Amino acid sequence: MHRSGTSAVAGTAVRLGLAPPRTLLRPTADNPAGTYEPTWVVALNHWLLQAAGCTWHDCLSFDASQLDGATRANASGMARDILRDEFADAPAFVIKDPRLCLTLPVWLPVFQAAGIAVAVLLVMRHPEEVLQSIARRDLLPRAALAPVWLHHMLEAERATRAVPRAVIGYDELLDDWPGCMARAGQTAGIDWPAGIGGDRPGIDAFLNRSSRHHFATPTSVAPGSPPIPGLVAMTWLAFQKLREDRFSPFVLEWLDQAHARFASWRATTERMAPLQVAVG
């Protein structure tokens, strides 16, 4: 999900030796160290969401499996071109865009056809901190953002069950990035080209704790009406357990239950009106 620490993880991965894309979005006021998002990957993902009448913050009706054949074929062709142009012959590289939580089912077959081995890092941050951060940046209501957090996290988890993956906690990264990235690499099968100790001073400086502005409390509860607060708490706890045991059938069943209940809620609730994002 956006504002979960994905930029911090991607930037750390680059400093551990993974190639960044050639064309990066420029740093922003809310992310001065850079987002590490490939310009054309973001553009393609935005186009896919638009094709379904959605945006990243108005996405509860988005289902990649429901995209029509022509849209998927066009997207696959563009994705192949992007991979060629952005990463050329890089032996190992990183792609980061929170929209991939929703669009990954379109990308995975392209990676497979190109013979690219995929490992996924699922980044989690306490949902209350995420909601606070987005509400401050985009002036969006926290109650409307809670289902968006759920949709991103649940779809990302479900789409990545068949590929090597690891869950990274934002707090864990800031507290002990060497241990965090070593564990994630071992879990997901990533051999960091530069080694964990390759650029320790640079990564220490990059992961600047002063850039963190939002903190959850032990009693933080997601805003909104039932069942959303309960589903957010259920999903957050499940991701914490998934970080400890990625194969736990109990945790996966728990996430399936959350996914089913959330899908039922979306089916019986009128689609949210598009949220207005403040610009400038």
What does the pLDDT read at residue 24?
93
What does the pLDDT read at residue 209?
73
Given a contact cutoff of 8 angstroms between Cβ atoms, the answer to whether 40 and 85 are in contact is: yes
Whether residue 179 has pLDDT greater than 60: yes
The pTM assigned to this predicted structure is: 0.92
Using CA atoms, how far apart are residues 3 and 117, in angstroms rounded to an integer?
27
Query: Residue written as tokens 């069942």?
Result: 227
pLDDT digits (tens, 9 = 90+) for 197-229: 878 999 999 998 766 666 777 677 788 899 999
CA proximity to 4, closest of 137, 104, 126:
126
CA proximity to 207, closest of 12, 3, 10:
12
pLDDT tier at 274 (50, 70, 90 boundaries)? Answer: very low
What does the pLDDT read at residue 278?
44
| Summary mean pLDDT of the chain | 92
Using CA atoms, how far apart are residues 217 and 233, in angstroms rounded to an integer?
13
What does the pLDDT read at residue 105?
98
Given a contact cutoff of 8 angstroms between Cβ atoms, the answer to whether 254 and 234 are in contact is: yes
Averaged pLDDT, 158-182 = 96
What does the pLDDT read at residue 213?
65
Higher pLDDT, 218 or 173: 173
Using CA atoms, how far apart are residues 97 and 56, in angstroms rounded to an integer?
11
